Amino acid sequence: MRQIFLDTETTGLSADNGDRIVEIGCVELVNRRLTGNNLHFYINPGRDSHEEALKVHGITSEFLKDKPKFEAVVEELLRYVQGAEVIIHNAAFDLGFLNKELELVARLPFKDHVSKVVDTLVMAKEMFPGKRNSLDALCDRLGVDNSGRTLHGALLDAELLADVYINLTRGQDALLIDAHGPQHGESATPQIDLSGFELPVLHANEQEVAAHDEVLVQIDKASGGKTVWRIAA
């Protein structure tokens, strides 16, 4: 499975009111492994960042003045994310800006170019209800080193998000099958023939049978006589 972790930095909080993207960072995972095939752009938004936004990302208009416009990088971005599952923290915010940028260059909305968008903020709220679920909070909770994050940066945040996601979904590892076999330096899992093993059958004793019957009686009472075994009888 190809997954892209994406983050943006912007001039402010409202794409509808004219704020624009100043940075896009993407990190690629294939079969839950970092590939190093990342994508990163600084973008000239054609306007200054709000003071509060500048405090967050520190990307000045002076730095961005010789950077490409969004229209110059859109084709490369869409080729890169094409058909992938894209994972974003607080996806509604980033999608709002991406969709506005795509609209301005007469392209379809972002979701039309990818297979799926996953919001890790929604995942985190379900897993940790009532707790802080910012990217920094999740890094602290899940043991992801974010000591280098003095300012927000799209590529760094996408890399941190990939680590956070792997930790959030660690329980899925046992369910994954690598269709390409073992990677270089790894050994294949040994196959064990169980056909020669004879498993012992342990029968319940009288005390255990009586305890089981009592549990069934209590369940039957609680259901008002509507248990499956009573109906079937």
Could you state, in order of their start, the residue ranges of all structural domains in the chain?
Answer: 2-175
How does pLDDT run across 57-98, given as a tens digit for each residue? 999 999 999 999 999 999 999 999 999 999 999 999 999 999
Residue pair 31/1 in contact by the 8 Å Cβ criterion: yes
Q: What pLDDT score was predicted for residue 213?
A: 83
Residues of the chain where predicted confidence (pLDDT) is lower than 50? 173-181, 184-185, 187
Nearest to 97 by CA among 213, 6, 193, 177: 6
Can you give the pLDDT at residue 154?
Answer: 93
Quote the pLDDT of residue 164: 95
Instruction: Note the pLDDT of residue 177.
Output: 37
Which of 109, 46, 36 lies closest to 72, judged by CA?
46
65 burial (CB, 10 Å; 0-12 / 13-18 / 19+) is exposed
Q: What is the pLDDT of residue 172?
A: 53
DSSP type of residue 173: G
Q: Which CATH superfamily is domain 2-175 in?
A: Ribonuclease H-like superfamily/Ribonuclease H (3.30.420.10)
Single-letter residue type at 9: E
Q: What residues are annotated to the active site?
A: 152
What's the pLDDT at 229?
A: 65
85: closest CA among 114, 46, 121? 114
Helix (H) or strand (E) holding 41: strand 39-42
25's enclosing H/E stretch is: strand 21-30
Cα–Cα distance measured from residue 86 to residue 36, given in angstroms and rounded to the nearest whole number: 16
What is the per-residue pLDDT for 49? 96
